[in-house]
């Protein structure tokens, strides 16, 4: 049998694409290499599933694929899920029950009960031929008129995403931009911060490259033996991953005026405090002492050091720790329907493309919205025949 469409990858984008085609006049086979569908989707948002953000715009995305409003602003995106969603004060949207597995279960139910969709688990695609012929690892061949490559990126290979599918796209002439881990811990020199290992501070992180501001993030900054982690660091990593000569500027009291910090230091000097104790009570003692090792001597210089603690970025931890892949199949080879310009009928959705989003639901939003665009193109095409 020749299917109308073969979807490779049963993760967020592949499952979502299949769900948009459920019970439509198109025969679909979905091949997932793992034993279960949606393994990574079930682990998202610390198990709570941060599906989208109320503030979605092109500005939240990086990469060479043009992420237009058409791709992003699909008002019906979450209507496929039979559940309620709520947003937190940062605009991050979650299922009201705060369980990512509910998202996977909902998509799995739609897809596995649809009359037109066949799901194959433990079915890894290893080679593609034009036409399309999909060669599975077990030697089986699948024939399909159209093909959607939804095999994800390289982040956290325990979810089946080891980057194997990029080579299958290259086979059709697609270029792959350099791949970097993103939404990930950052490596920094540890000489200044080694006394702080395990300590959590709340603050602002600004990333700069040769004086130019790349981005800012607020939240937890956690010190580790390789550098820094925490939600502010994950967020800022989207701006710095893959770049050279980047510095982090940590502000431990972002909402307090520098003159007020200077004033409290001045009072302590008048009271005869030791230099190492001048920030006690203002900051965590260990952080205060660490800052005092390099700060200047005047209250103003000390206050400035509290707001501008510099850590150069040496790199990131590996893909094993990252939430997403920066880089992927580049934009020049695909059209606005995310169809290949080199192989008609070959579509892409999700993280395999050279698109990555900021922290806060933007990556699942991309997985779903890109899949929705592919689904519409396939249905339109079917009607036109
Ligand atoms: C721990 C963690 C937490 C995250 N939290 C969030 C969050 O809260 N919000 C958010 O927006 N984003 C989050 N992300 C990112 C988000 O999960 C991904 O961007 C999204 O899942 C990408 O969807 P995808 O369909 O492109 O790839 P995936 O969901 O990774 O799915 C790809 C699928 O393809 C399969 N596959 C690979 N190769 C083959 C092959 N050759 N043949 C057959 N099948 C194959 C894989 O087994 C996998 O199931 C998180 C990521 C991680 C790792």
Q: pLDDT of 298-332, one tens digit each?
A: 999 999 999 999 999 999 999 999 999 999 999 99
Alpha-helical (H) ranges within 22-99 are 39-43, 69-72
Give ranges for CATH 3.50.50.60 in the chain: 2-180+325-384
Q: pLDDT of 102-124, one tens digit each?
A: 999 999 999 999 999 999 999 99
Output the residue whose Cα is nearest ligand 1's atom 21. 12
User: Each residue of 193-224: b (16+ CB within 10 Å) or e?
Assistant: beebeeeebebbbbbbeeeeeeebbbbebbbb
- For ligand 1, the distance from its centroid to the CA atom of residue 325, given in whole angstroms, is 10
What's the start-to-end Cα distance of the chain, in Å? 19
**What is the rounded distance in angstroms from the CA atom of residue 67 to the CA atom of residue 362?**
12
- For ligand 1, the distance from its centroid to the CA atom of residue 39, given in whole angstroms, is 8
- For ligand 1, the distance from its centroid to the CA atom of residue 223, given in whole angstroms, is 28
Find how far residue 372's CA is from the centre of its chain: 19
Residue from 154, 160, 162, 237 to probe ligand 1 pocket by mutation (most atoms less than 8 Å from CB) = 160
Q: Select from 150, 226, 127, 212 the least CA-distant residue to 184.
A: 226
312: number of Cβ within 10 Å: 12
**What is the rounded distance in angstroms from the CA atom of residue 331 to the CA atom of residue 334?**
6
- What percent of the chain clears pLDDT 70, i.e. is strictly above it? 99
pLDDT attached to residue 384: 57
Q: Residue 261: CB partners within 8 Å, gap ≥ 6? A: 253, 282, 302, 303, 306, 307
Using CB atoms within 10 Å of the CB of residue 90, give its burial: 0 to 12 exposed, 13 to 18 middle, 19+ buried: middle
Q: Residue 304: CB partners within 8 Å, gap ≥ 6? A: 258, 295, 296
- For ligand 1, the distance from its centroid to the CA atom of residue 354, given in whole angstroms, is 14
Confidence of residue 383 (pLDDT cuts 50, 70, 90): low
Tell me if residue 122 falls in helix, strand or coil. Answer: coil
Average pLDDT rounded to a whole number, residues 133-150: 98
User: Each residue of 256-270: b (16+ CB within 10 Å) or e?
Assistant: eebeebbebbbebee
- Is any ligand 1 atom within 6 A of the Cβ of residue 136? no
Q: pLDDT of 252-269, one tens digit each?
A: 999 999 999 999 999 999
**What is the rounded distance in angstroms from the CA atom of residue 34 to the CA atom of residue 14?**
13
Strand arrangement, sheet containing 85-87: 52-53, 92-95, 85-87
Q: Select from 119, 142, 129, 128 the least CA-distant residue to 33.
A: 119
**What is the rounded distance in angstroms from the CA atom of residue 159 to the CA atom of residue 43?**
9
**What is the rounded distance in angstroms from the CA atom of residue 281 to the CA atom of residue 152?**
47
pLDDT attached to residue 68: 85
Cis peptide before 132 (omega within 30 of 0): yes
Q: Residue 118: CB partners within 8 Å, gap ≥ 6? A: 3, 28, 29, 30
pLDDT attached to residue 353: 98
| Residue 29 predicted with pLDDT over 80 | yes
**Average per-residue pLDDT in the chain?**
96
pLDDT attached to residue 332: 96
- Is any ligand 1 atom within 6 A of the Cβ of residue 184? no
* CATH number of the domain located at residue range(s) 2-180+325-384 in this protein: 3.50.50.60
């Amino acid at each position: 049998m020749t299917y109308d469409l073969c979807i490779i990858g049963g993760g967020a984008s592949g499952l979502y694409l299949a769900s948009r085609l459920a019970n439509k006049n198109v025969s679909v086979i979905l091949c997932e290499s793992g034993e279960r569908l949606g393994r990574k989707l079930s682990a998202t948002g610390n198990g709570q599933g941060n599906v989208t953000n109320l503030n979605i715009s092109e500005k939240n995305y990086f990469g060479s694929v043009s992420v237009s409003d058409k791709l992003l602003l699909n008002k019906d995106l979450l209507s496929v899920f039979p559940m309620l969603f709520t947003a937190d004060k940062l605009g991050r949207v979650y299922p009201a029950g705060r369980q990512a597995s509910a998202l996977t279960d909902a998509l799995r139910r739609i897809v596995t009960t649809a009359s037109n969709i066949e799901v194959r688990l433990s079915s890894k695609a290893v080679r593609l031929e034009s036409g399309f012929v999909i060669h599975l690892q077990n030697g089986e061949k699948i024939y399909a008129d159209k093909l959607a490559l939804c095999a994800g990126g390289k982040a956290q290979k325990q979810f089946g995403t080891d980057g194997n599918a990029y080579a299958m796209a290259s086979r059709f002439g697609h270029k792959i931009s350099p791949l970097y881990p993103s939404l990930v811990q950052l490596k920094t020199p540890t000489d200044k911060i080694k006394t702080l290992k395990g300590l959590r501070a709340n603050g602002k992180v600004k990333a700069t490259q040769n004086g130019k501001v790349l981005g800012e993030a607020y939240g937890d900054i956690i010190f580790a033996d390789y550098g820094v982690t925490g939600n502010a660091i994950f967020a800022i990593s989207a701006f710095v991953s893959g770049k050279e000569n980047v510095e982090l500027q940590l502000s431990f009291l972002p909402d307090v005026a520098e003159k007020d910090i200077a004033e409290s230091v001045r009072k302590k000097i008048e009271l005869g405090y030791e230099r190492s104790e001048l920030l006690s009570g203002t900051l965590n003692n260990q952080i205060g002492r660490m800052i005092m090792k390099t700060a200047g001597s005047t209250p103003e210089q000390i206050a400035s050091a509290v707001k501008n603690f510099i850590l150069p970025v040496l790199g990131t931890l590996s893909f094993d720790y990252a939430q997403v892949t920066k880089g992927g199949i580049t934009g020049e080879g695909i059209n606005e329907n995310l169809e290949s310009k080199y192989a008609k009928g070959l579509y892409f959705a999700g993280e395999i493309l050279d698109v990555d989003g900021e922290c806060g639901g933007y990556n699942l939003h991309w997985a779903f919205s890109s899949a929705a665009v592919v689904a519409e193109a396939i249905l339109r095409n079917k009607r036109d025949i």
